[in-house]
Amino acid sequence: MKKLTLLLLLGVWVASAAWAQSGALTADQLQKIRQSYQEDSYTKAMENALSNNDINKLALNRDNVDKVDQHFKYKVDDISGITDQKGSGRCWMFTSLNIFRPVAMRHFNVDEFEFSENYLYFYDIFEKANLFLNNVVASADLPFTSRKVNWYFKSPVDDGGVWNSFVNLVNKYGMVPKSVMPETHSSENTRKMVKFIVTKLREDGLELRQMVADKKSKTDIENRRVEMLEGVYRMLALNLGNPPEQFRWRYKDKDGNLSEYKTYTPQQFRDEVLGDIKLSDYVMLMNDPTRPYYKHYEIENYRNTEEGINWNYVNLPNDVIKQFAIESIKNNEPMYASCDVGAFYVKGSGVLSTENYDYGAVYGVKFGMDKKQRILTGESGSSHGMALIAVDVNDQGKPTKWQFENSWGPDSDYHGYLTFTDNWFNQYMFRFVINKKYLDSKTLKAWSEKAEMLPPWDPMF
């Protein structure tokens, strides 16, 4: 039996080696490929153009320019102004807070209001550092080459997040006005600060693994972990400021009335502003054609606090999601949404359309992957979060285009907004957070079912 097994393995190895050898590029094949490149006048002109210009300028479809207007049948009324995340990856946080800015504006009867993104960002990075160190200890018995350990050390902390990250932070740390903890240079330009925190955490992670290997007591390991977090807190406070435990705040309303100073904790401010709104009433929906629809999924360890909830979502077809989104907009409720914003993006135009560019015409090759294929190969995925605020429909009530409130500042694109066609929605929209009162019973049933756990390194995430 062992001899037969060895012979079979040898046969597989020989076949693989033969295939590898037969797959080598031969001189005849190379010559054939070279001859396929015919340098006619058009090809030569395109070679000159491409080698000297940005391809987007050459592939821009002039017939599509200015064909999409900025008018919408249904639009959220309380548009509260454009925010600016500057040089940071905090789009998910800006988007989540922007959803509730109109709520705060109505509560205080003010024309302008913004929550402090810097306040929540401080605790997001701090809590992620704590989670990383916990994960290091929990996985210390695994070899450093294991996929899980490699995943932890690849990015101990970063700016990224999704809706559940926002929920975890607000539930634990509350909210504060921007004036209480304003932006700093480091909050608006996070790369260097995060780099040094990551470097320190990797060093700390190695030390904790060694402590486990040396069979140090749980108490010693825990004490050392807390000391490490003191260092992270110091680095964050020096860059972002020390977050308040309580604060005094007043405001001037639309009628010019100046309120009295009131003292809040961040949790008290959250409770006053949100009132009866429950973050648990919001459900994340996704369109991922690589997986079955009407199923509940959870991403393993994708959270920012140890005790918080992981990323959860129900996978749905686009046409179903659109029905819920339209109802939310009609009822004056913006939504957290995210997409592959770089796909067919024309900077400054304010329009996302699959007709914006014709790259195939420039290269003379066909680009034919569908959404499922793009996800599986890593070609496309969600890269940016924005507030979904408007939809236009035709005479039959079918959506034709949609609009985002972005967080790239008021001078970006169309006064800070991005409009996208319904076909672009089908191809490049991924995540939505919608109040469950707009969902049907079939979706709510799927949401209530036990989630299937997915790994954080899945191509979709």
Residues facing 264 on adjacent strands:
247
User: Closest Cα partner for 385 from 229, 194, 161, 192?
Assistant: 161
Residue type, 96: S
- How far is Cα 351 from Cα 345, in angstroms, rounded to an integer? 7
Q: Of these residues, 53, 61, 91, 257, which one is catalytic?
A: 91
- How far is Cα 342 from Cα 35, in angstroms, rounded to an integer? 35
| DSSP 3-state of 178 | coil
Distance of CA 340 to the CA centre of its chain: 9
Q: Of these residues, 107, 150, 384, 426, which one is catalytic?
A: 384
- How far is Cα 389 from Cα 111, in angstroms, rounded to an integer? 18
Give the number of other CB atoms < 10 A from CB of residue 437. 12
In angstroms and rounded to an integer, the radius of gyration of the C-alpha atoms of the chain is: 26
Question: Per the structure block, which two tokens stand in for 155?
Answer: 């990015």
Main-chain phi, psi angles of 345, to 5 degrees: -85, 125
* Conformational region of residue 413, where left means phi above 0, alpha means psi within -120 to 50, and beta covers everything else: left
What pairing do the DSSP bridges indicate for beta strands 429-435 and 335-339? antiparallel
Q: Is 415 a catalytic residue?
A: no
**SS3 assignment for 1-22:** CHHHHHHHHHHHHHHHHHHHHH
Q: Is 91 a catalytic residue?
A: yes
Element (H, E) at 30: helix 27-36
User: Closest Cα partner for 431 from 161, 87, 98, 170?
Assistant: 161
Q: Of these residues, 98, 118, 135, 406, which one is catalytic?
A: 406
User: Closest Cα partner for 459 from 325, 319, 290, 345?
Assistant: 290
| DSSP 3-state of 395 | coil
What pairing do the DSSP bridges indicate for beta strands 384-393 and 429-435? unpaired
Question: Per the structure block, which two tokens stand in for 459?
Answer: 């191509």
- How far is Cα 381 from Cα 340, in angstroms, rounded to an integer? 6
Give the number of other CB atoms < 10 A from CB of residue 454. 18
- How far is Cα 433 from Cα 312, in angstroms, rounded to an integer? 11
Question: Per the structure block, which two tokens stand in for 61?
Answer: 């479809």
Q: Which residues are catalytic?
A: 91, 384, 406
